[in-house]
Amino acid sequence: MAALNHERLSALANDIFASLIGNEASSEPPKEIQNDANSSQTPDQIKQLLQQKALEAMNPPPLETDSKDPEDLEDLETMEEALNDFYSSEDEQDRESALMILGEYPDPKAKEAILYALNDPENAVREQAVSQIGNWEDEKERQQMLLTALQNDHPEIVVLALESVAEIDDPALAQKIKELSNDKNEDISEAAKVALDMADSE
């Protein structure tokens, strides 16, 4: 297994911070960030907090379960290994494979890793993250995750996320897609219009 990459995690934290601070949509930062950051903190302090969250991912606590079912324990071990591979590997194919595994588990830790992957340095990993979001089991969480993906700095990721929209029940998601229908990037604006048309036809 490759050594843990401090620089990669720090860079990802910076990207996540930039997308959160620079976005004007009505969506909110992840709850774990909200809980630790209050209104009196400066952007620099919040940025430091995000970087701290990234560094904590380097040594995540063991996953726990109350179940004694061998299959549940095996699933837990599989997910823990995938999380470790995703956060520690410098090989993009390893991280991409880890995301494919994590997408099978409707767990907060898996969800966090998938959202984190939206800012991975490698496009293939970012695309895999969008793919897993599009297939996420919980409909409400899926729409919230898509909203996060639509705030990405990479146009191709935004387009993929728009193409993954199957329903629009979340008001914030609907508003964001409407905004993107007027985006200067033609690929984004066209994909947004298609997503809105599909939602209206349902």
pLDDT tens string 167-190: 899 999 999 999 999 999 999 999
Nearest CA among 158, 152, 164 for reference residue 181: 158
Report DSSP state, residue 3.
Answer: P
Report phi then psi at 85, rounded to 5: -65, -40
For the purposes of burial, counting CB atoms within 10 Å of the CB of 186, is it exposed (0-12), middle (13-18) or buried (19 or more)? exposed
Nearest CA among 130, 110, 21 for reference residue 57: 110
Check: CB of residue 161 under 8 Å from CB of residue 128. no
Tens digits of residue pLDDT in 84-136: 999 999 999 999 999 999 999 989 999 999 999 999 999 999 999 999 999 99
- Tell me what pLDDT residue 25 has: 39
Question: Concatenated DSSP letters for 155-200?
Answer: HHHHHHHHHT------HHHHHHHHHHTT-SSHHHHHHHHHHHHHHH
Report phi then psi at 53, rounded to 5: -60, -40
Report DSSP state, residue 68.
Answer: -
Check: CB of residue 60 under 8 Å from CB of residue 88. no
Distance CA 168, CA 35 (A): 28
Report, as an integer, the average pLDDT of 34-60: 52
Q: Indicate whether this model's pTM tops 0.85.
A: no
Tens digits of residue pLDDT in 131-153: 999 999 999 999 999 999 999 99
